[in-house]
Amino acid sequence: MRVSERPLISAAAVAARVEALGCEMAGDYAGKRPLLLAVLRGASLFVADLARALPIELELDFIQARSYAGTRSTGSVALSRAEDLEVTGRHVIVVEDIVDTGRTAAALLERLHGLSPASLALCALLDKPSRRVVEVHPNYTGFSIDDHFVVGYGLDCDGLHRNLPAIHVMEA
């Protein structure tokens, strides 16, 4: 497989959308000091830009979730660090790179819900609604895309291509 020459979503379009998400979230969370909980490793670049687009007090933490091998979903989700997180009574915003089958986000939201946050929201840079297996509706979405396996801006294929500034499709 190779990376598409032309991006699906340009770096400029990503930057503009992240700024807009930041404005919207800043309005919703002003005075609430939310905890941005980014899902490693795919959301690391997105959350770095999103946090800087939010002109409000916030905290930032990370959680690890693994569900993919190559371009195939393995169907099971392993979470690490969930027990170390201090989310009780906090306004938590889970920041995901992409919601695909929805298994990762659903597992994470369920686990976090059990820790009694004051509120819980999901922000996904990308959403692939046609691939959904478990019902999950992000509160904030950067872009809805068709059923492509995409890389760049933090998203990888077997560890590679996270550093691409734009979102590209993996082509056969």
Q: Which residues of the chain form contacts with ligand IMP (CB under 6 A)?
A: 39, 42, 67-68, 73, 96-105, 149-151, 155
Nearer to ligand IMP, 22 or 152 (CB): 152
Answer yes or no: are the C-beta atoms of 21 and 142 closer than 8 Å: yes
Burial track 72-92 (b if 16+ CB lie within 10 A, e otherwise): ebeeebebeebeebebeebbb
Tokens of 115: 């820790």
Task: Please identify which of the residues 100, 127, 147, 158 carries the catalytic annotation.
Answer: 100
Q: How far is the CB of 160 from ligand IMP (least distance, A)?
A: 11
| Catalytic (active site) residue 100 | yes
Q: How far is the CB of 147 from ligand IMP (least distance, A)?
A: 9
Q: How far is the CB of 123 from ligand IMP (least distance, A)?
A: 12
First to last CA, the chain: 5
Nearer to ligand IMP, 54 or 94 (CB): 94
Give whole-number Cα distances, 139 to 8, 114, 156, in Å: 23, 19, 24
Residue that has been written with the tokens 């920041």 in this structure? 95
Nearer to ligand IMP, 104 or 141 (CB): 104
Q: Which residue numbers are catalytic?
A: 100
